[in-house]
Structure 1
Amino acid sequence: MLARTLKVLEYGKVKEQLEKHASSSLGKEKVQQLLPTTNFEEAVEWQEMTDEAATVLRLKGNVPLGGIYDVRPYAKRAKIGSVLSPHELLSITSTLYASRQIKKFIEDLLEEELDIPFLQAYSERLFLLIELERKINFCIGDNGEVLDGASEKLKSLRNQLKTLESRAREKLENIIRSTSMQKMLSDAIITIRNERFVIPVKQEYRASFGGMVHDQSASGATLFIEPQSVVDINNSLNETRLKERQEVERILAELSNQVAEEADSILENVVVLTEIDFMFAKGSYSQKIKASKPNLNNKGYIKLLKARHPLIPKDEVVPNDVELGRDFTSIVITGPNTGGKTVTLKLVGLFTLMAQSGLQLPVLDGSEMGVFDAVYADIGDEQSIEQSLSTFSSHMVNIVDILKKVDGNSLVLFDELGAGTDPQEGAALAISILDEVYRRGARVIATTHYPELKAYGYNRKGVINASVEFDVETLSPTYKLLIGVPGRSNAFEISKRLGLNHDVIENAKLHISAESNQVENMIASLEDNRRKAEKDLEEAEITRKDAEELHKELQRQIIEFNEKREKMFEKAEQKAAASIEKAKQEAEEIIRDLRKMQKQQYATIKDHELIEARKRLEGATPQLATNKQASVAKAATKQKLHPGDEVKVLSLDQKGHLIEQVGSGEWQVQIGIMKMKVKEKNLEYISRPKPVETKPLATIRGTDSHVKLELDLRGERYEDALLRVEKYIDDALLAGYPRVSIIHGKGTGALRKGVQEYVKNHRSIKKVRYGEASEGGTGVTIIELK
């Protein structure tokens, strides 16, 4: 991609936003190096990587990417034998810990069976250098100091230092506490000069002290003297300090050697962590701008749904739909200045660069982007005083360069094509340039003021007009792109709104040719028809959603009714079975009594009579639910099926209704929202609905709005809510609904209590109850109407 194109399309500003989402300096460096790829397979892979990162962020919220440092210089220096400082070693161990954390994080995701092929591949490349990490942490403290426990010798030397320092201070404190000595001291303190303990002595008492002078004050009135009594101790201190430094150097050298042994693994970890940080920076940026993954193609096809420019504030940006490259390959955008033509131009160009950089786009799902070999842009007024170039000349220099390179896999953006010269010649040049670029097969978007190019869009195959909408009432652009509608100048309307004399405006219209007037009137008609079509579409969408909700609610109620009916049948069968079982037991007892009486010769009852009585009792016992399908299927064979019958599909164990017979022994069955063909032998007859009088859908105050099956009162004032409940119940009664729901929420309970009291006393309400847990609980009141 040309550097000039990246600049005019403000690609660098997008990278600045992206850089803020990187967790480490390595990730930021990777962002700074980012450039769009022209390789289709690579662009697709980058998009999949970003989508994988965005998915993980959506599911987990964050990723453990803290503590990553650029330790490449340290690892390379260790390889050539340099001794690393404690802080450099800390950076290495922090990066090793980050590697371990991110590897564990990825392994946990894999255990959850998430599809993360890119992260899995990165995880397999990470080295766990736990021993080196542990060794550095054991020797180096959080503040970069070598710890006493790093070695036994270091611990011993530091204990010696503490002992010697204590002895030196004790001797000097005895001196400064001495009454005879206090008058000789400038201050009763112990200080350090040249790493030796000294005391401040007045100049005139120098001769009274033995020892060495190490320093004096700026005025010369105070000398910092090391008394002879602590000279030996200070000498021992210096020797011990030297040994300590040597031991620290030895420990750091040993750690550096261990780093050198693992330098290649550390460098590989840095590469992998950089890629992971960069990958999640793109995923995080996608979340920030509410972006989605575009479908990429190598056919030059662009389809953006509700595209929002990422550099315009969210509360100001106007979403637009843009399509290019299928039915038409060139778009000519006309309209007034400051209307958003250039923004649209930059939007398409910038989205192309972002998509080919692996960045998701702030568009709706289902959007598509072509992958181009080059994006050329001639945007902005680049008048050059130094080169003595006018606006027209500077544009021509860029256009000439573009025409030398453009081919069938290029995207070309022209802003104010042909501007800066004679309008007639400029329009002719613009048409010729567009024809040339179109002939080469490139995708083109051009903005212009020339009215001749409006006709160009109608007269050329593969070219379409577009404009940015202008609200004459507010005298301001709406920034909405209108594909297929050329722009109007709106000069007369704007002048009229601003108060220009009516006669002046009418006189001006006389100077406009009839053809121009016809074109303007045609454009005005197109705009009116478009607005009407959009309004009709919006109303149709609302009606469709209401119908879907009504359909779902009816389906839910039907399923619920069938389930309750089945439970009632089952309960009745169980009750009947229990009664019969009880009767059988009583009969057995009677028979036993009769046998007993027979043996005692109190009765002359024969055995065959007893057996016959028992058979009659057993015959009275019903066959209950042991083979329900078989019994119903048997009944179904005796029942001739008709369209509308309720049946059960045995293979699916689902209920449905017959629509029509589609062949010999085969029916079309409606199961919920699904229709399917089923063999008659696979059907059980259940019932045949009785013809009922249909009621028309209720209307509200003469409008065509259908009554919904629920009323939402949340957020309403108490009095207003009860008025709405009263009217809603009347509407539901007119609609013939058997049951409706009133959503009042739980809250403080005042609204809920008021609704309950009102509906319980309503003359047309048969039953009132709170919703089940699945229906909203006590936040919903369910009422059954008479």
Structure 2
Amino acid sequence: MITEKALKTLEFPKVIEHVKTYTTSSVGKAMIEELKPSTDFSEIEQWTEETDEALAVLRVKGNVPLGGLFDIRPHARRAQIGGILSATELMEIASTIRASKIIRRFIEDVRDAEDFSVKHLHGYTESIPVLTELEHEINACVDENGMVLDSASQTLRSIRSQLRTAVQRIREKLDSYTRGQNATKMLSDAIVTIRNDRYVIPVKAEYRSHYGGIVHDQSSSGQTLFIEPNAVVQLNNDARALRVKEQEEIERILKELTLQVEIVASDLFHLVKTMATLDTIFAKAKYGTAENCTRPLINQEGRIRLVRARHPLISKSEAVANTIEFGDPDTAVVITGPNTGGKTVTLKTVGLCTLMAQSGIPIPALDGSEVAIFESIFADIGDEQSIEQSLSTFSSHMVNIVDILKKFDDKSLILFDELGAGTDPQEGAALAISILDEVHGKGARVMATTHYPELKAYGYNRPGVVNASVEFDVETLSPTYKLLLGVPGRSNAFEISKRLGLPHHIIQHAESFTGTDRSEVDTMIASLEESRKRAEQDADETKRILEESEQLKRQLAEELAAYEAKKEQLAEKAREKARKIVEDARRESEAVVQELRELQKQAAAGVKEHELIDARKRLENALPTNPVLKKEKQKKQRAENLQAGDEVKVLSFGQKGTLLEKVSATEWAVQIGVLKMKLNESDLEYVKPDKPLKTVSVHNVAGRSAGGVKLELDLRGERYEDALLRTEKYLDDAVLANYPRVSIIHGKGTGALRTGIQQMLKKDRRVKSYRFGEAGEGGYGVTIVELK
């Protein structure tokens, strides 16, 4: 059992006060205040796992919705004994039920969405009773401010409507007095006020008889009377009667709701207890997050290993972190050295971390820390001098130690501060050694501090005992508060005196009295301290490099994951683009095939050559191609030996032609339709001869030489229909002649021919654009046509 005295000595209540600030409800605070360290291993393990789950939830979610929780247990008890709950109490019950629903849904969402376990938290929320019906009943009658709503019942709505009407009539009547001609003269103030739940007006005392009625109050000076005029007495009576009815109806509604609360009172008790438990668990986790605490491993073998542990009651910026390890195989630690070096802080750090772990509270140490479960913890720390009992410091300590020696066993943790102090040094040291032999011999885990030099050799003479000291910086004449396990403390009196200016011959004379053995021991301790410091520096450097490596590994893993995600995203985008290209090609191909079928049907009427060429070109362009493969193919085909008579494609025009003859090393004469052109070999691509289309029969259109087609068409004097036909035929000839621009002369006249020509040009797909002629080109009498 862990005594209250030990808890108080180690200042555990201060830790509890700190944790309590992270609760969100009064029931959570009360549960934290009652928290005591457990000695049951399974219970402690469960508490630790619950806190660890809460820490994981806070890391992911940042916060937990635990607001709106009230201690409604007194309300439920009053409902059980026949009392009627107030509207505010009912509102608190509804709010608590709603809070339980929110946290239940929150934990379920975390369980479904995250990859870590919340089995303990989910077990608590699953056990919360569902009281949604009661919540809705209360919310339908009471608002969030604890007021009964008009909608609570039809009767209440009717009464309040009548009451508002009555009050309005009273105010209208009294307002007529305050706005009357004599108001300024007879009234102290032109207002309507309330006295004794009745509406009145402030009348000057000398004009009391003018208004008549009932005097309900007067001012402190007696100069003003608050009078209820006769004209509103009956109206006030009616309003008062309505208020009585209103209150009776409200009490009836509250009584019905209270009866519903009584039915589920036991469920409400369980709900509050479960919610308080969740509030407590998350308060521990919030404390751990705020103080950079971690979950320790728990064992029953008495092992203590605190990695970079800090005192929980010293601020993070000031506390010095120490690694403390003992219990297996060493079961005792003796810390020697001068006062004010931090020995007591080390004792309390071990004791508090143990108490916190046995309470399910995260400890201020790094991951990998381990804490043993002790059935009893004893602490003899601080100045125990008792003036009331006329006990000296030594006597007080000894009374405490005697009590400890009666109660401890092999499952105890014992903390001695300045063991044997307050008496003759030689006797005190002997007592300290004897007490340590007693507790260590019975298997208890013990940590003791002392400044007796005789105990420096204690750790070397006893198996299972390790020496330790707190580092002192002789350069700054101040302690560093760093714990050095395995190194006993040494006196720094000579070094400090030297730094402070004590003459050298005096220090030498003093050293002559210490003896050779003492000097050799101090030299050995100094060497151990130096070795220990170098080892710690090397360990810190190794840890830093390891952390940097881990960080680099995580960074590379993140970048690799981002690269893979980007790669997949681009691949999906490319696949989507390819699908779209294929779909567009399919639609275009279907359109061209349909057009070819139409041309087949119209073959008897004659098909224009450029229409067939255009259809074939569209069909070829509809096929999706890989630009890279296309370029390579072009290079390969251009590299082939071209011969006269080969069919080629002119890349710059997108038209097919036939090679006539090679006119130079890099140029060919090419026949494109009726045109002969001289083109560079790099602009030509070999095309295999097409097989004749058996399904399409067309009439060849006799070509015309460029010399037989003029650059302008004169339609002046032509009939409208003949002019359109001539324009259609002229455009065919101009396209075959490869003219980029032609002029159509239609004259100004009435404008009918001009309008018809331009409407036809607008619909003709051979026409790129058209415009009226400039001043030097014929103005509005000429249309200049740009051909594709």
Q: Normalising by structure 2, what TM-score? A: 0.69
Give, as a single letter, the amino acid of the residue that structure 2 aligns with 1:173: D
Give the deviation of 1:517 after TM superposition: 1.6
How many pairs were matched up? 577
Q: Cα distance, 1:41 vs. partner? A: 1.3
**Could you tell me how far 1:228 is from its partner in structure 2?**
2.1
1:31 aligns with 2:61: no
- Residues 239, 463 of structure 1: alpha-carbon distance in 2 compared, 3 angstrom cutoff: same
Report the counterpart of residue 486 of structure 1 in structure 2.
488
What is the DSSP-based 3-state SS (H/G/I as helix, E as strand, rest coil) of the residue aligned with 1:189? coil
The match for 1:191 is 193
> What residue is the counterpart of 2:219 in the other structure?
217
The 1-side partners of 2:546 and 2:68 are apart by 53
2: CA distance between counterparts of 1:160 and 1:546? 77
Deviation at 1:513, TM superposition (A): 2.3
Aligned counterparts of 1:72 and 1:512: Cα–Cα separation in 2: 72
- Secondary structure at the counterpart of residue 264 of structure 1: helix
- CA–CA separation in structure 2 for the residues paired with 1:286 and 1:545: 22
Equivalence for 2:449: 447
Separation in 1, partners of 2:544, 2:28: 46
Tell me, yes or no, if structure 1 residue 469 matches structure 2 residue 471. Answer: yes
Distance in 1 between residues matched to 2:545 and 2:226, nearest whole Å: 96
RMSD (Å), alpha carbons: 3.3
Structure 1: 5+ residue stretches without partners: 565-573, 587-786
CA pair 368-509 structure 1, distance change in 2 beyond 3 A: same
Matches of 1:547 and 1:139, distance apart in 2: 63
Does the 8 A contact of 2:183 with 2:190 survive in 1? no
Indicate the residue corresponding to 2:231 in structure 1. Answer: 229
Post-superposition offset of 1:533: 3.3
**Residue aligning to 1:65:** 66
Equivalent runs, 1:301-450 vs 2, <5 Å: 301-450=303-452
Q: Match of 2:107, as an amino acid? A: I
One-letter identity of the residue aligned with 1:52: E
Letter in 2 for 1:192: I
Q: How far did 1:131 drift?
A: 2.0
What is the CA deviation profile of residues 293-319 of structure 1, one whole-angstrom value per residue up to 9, with x for unaligned ones?
Answer: 111100101011111111111111111
SS of the equivalent of 2:66 reads: coil
| Residues 430 and 178 of structure 1, relative CA distance in 2, 3 Å threshold | closer
Q: How many angstroms apart in 1 are the aligned matches of 2:163 and 2:538? A: 90
Q: Which residue of 2 aligns with 1:56?
A: 57
SS of the residue corresponding to residue 142 of structure 1 reads coil
**DSSP-derived class of the 2:91 partner:** helix
* 1:12 alignment counterpart: 13
Q: 2-side partners of 1:22 and 1:205: how far apart?
A: 62
For each residue in 1:353-394, what CA deviation from the matched residue of structure 2 results, as whole angstroms up to 9, or x when unmatched?
Answer: 011000111211111110001111111111112211111111
**Are 2:98 and 1:97 aligned?**
yes
**Residues of 2 paired with 1:308 and 1:316: CA distance?**
10
1:60 to 1:463, Cα distance in 2 relative to 1, 3 A = same
Pair 458,507 (structure 1): closer, same or farther in 2 beyond 3 Å:
same
The CA deviation string for residues 484-522 of structure 1, in whole angstroms up to 9 with x for no partner, is 000011100000000000000000001112222221111
Whole-Å separation in 2 of the counterparts to 1:90 and 1:132: 11
Amino acid at match of 1:199: I
- Indicate conservation of the 8 Å contact 1:72/1:270, yes or no: yes
Q: Percent identity?
A: 58
Residue identity matched to 1:437: V
* Shift of residue 548, structure 1, vs aligned partner: 9.4
| Amino acid in structure 2 at the alignment position of 1:59 | V
What's the counterpart of residue 501 of structure 1? 503
Gaps of 5+ in 2: 568-627, 641-788
2:139 maps to which residue?
137
Q: Distance in 1 between matches of 2:304 and 2:173?
A: 87
CA distance in 2, matches of 1:130, 1:549: 49
Contact 1:406 1:440 (C-alpha < 8 Å) held by counterparts? no
Displacement of 1:194 in angstroms is: 2.2
Residue 147 (structure 1) aligned to one of 146, 149, 152: 149
* TM alignment of 1:246-285, pairs within 5 A: 246-285=248-287
1:135 CA drift (Å)? 1.9
Aligned equivalents of 1:134, 1:253: Cα separation in 2: 16
Mapped contact 1:215–1:223 kept (Cα < 8 A)? yes
Cα distance, 1:543 vs. partner?
7.5
Query: d(CA) in 2 for partners of 1:206 and 1:79?
Result: 54
Instruction: Please give the secondary structure, in 1, of the residue aligned with 2:483.
Output: strand
The answer to whether residue 520 in structure 2 is matched with residue 514 in structure 1 is: no
Q: CA deviation at 1:188?
A: 3.3
CA distance in 2, matches of 1:57, 1:284: 8
Task: Mark the structure with the bigger radius of gyration.
Answer: 2
Q: What amino acid sits opposite 2:531 in the alignment?
A: N
Contact 2:309 2:366 in 1 (8 A): yes
Q: Secondary structure at the match of 1:27?
A: helix
Q: Which residue of 1 aligns with 2:117?
A: 115
Q: Summarize the Cα distance change of 1:414–1:507 in structure 2 as closer, same or farther, 3 Å threshold.
A: same
**Mean Cα displacement is larger for which, 111-120 or 408-417?**
111-120
Query: 2:740 — aligned with what?
Result: none
CA distance in 2, matches of 1:92, 1:518: 75
Amino acid at match of 1:99: S
Q: Secondary structure at the match of 2:413?
A: strand
The 1-side partners of 2:327 and 2:468 are apart by: 15
2:109 counterpart letter in structure 1:
D
- Distance in 2 between the 1:67 and 1:39 partners? 33
1:381–1:206 distance in 2 versus 1, CA, 3 Å:
closer
Question: Are residues 1:298 and 2:300 paired?
Answer: yes
Tell me the SS of whatever aligns to 1:331.
strand
Alignment of structure 1 residues 631-650 onto 2, 5 Å: none
Please tell me whether the aligned partners of residues 190 and 197 of structure 1 are also in contact (alpha carbons under 8 angstroms). yes
When residues 511 and 118 of structure 1 are mapped into structure 2, their CA distance, relative to the original with a 3 A threshold, is same
Give yes or no for contact 2:213–2:233 (8 Å, CA) kept in 1. yes
TM-score of the aligned structures, taking structure 1 as reference length: 0.69
Offset at residue 143 of structure 1 (A): 2.2
Cα 1:220–1:301 change in 2 (3 A) is same
1:40 equivalent in alignment to 2:46: no
Most deviating of 200-209 and 388-397: 200-209
Q: CA deviation at 1:183?
A: 3.8
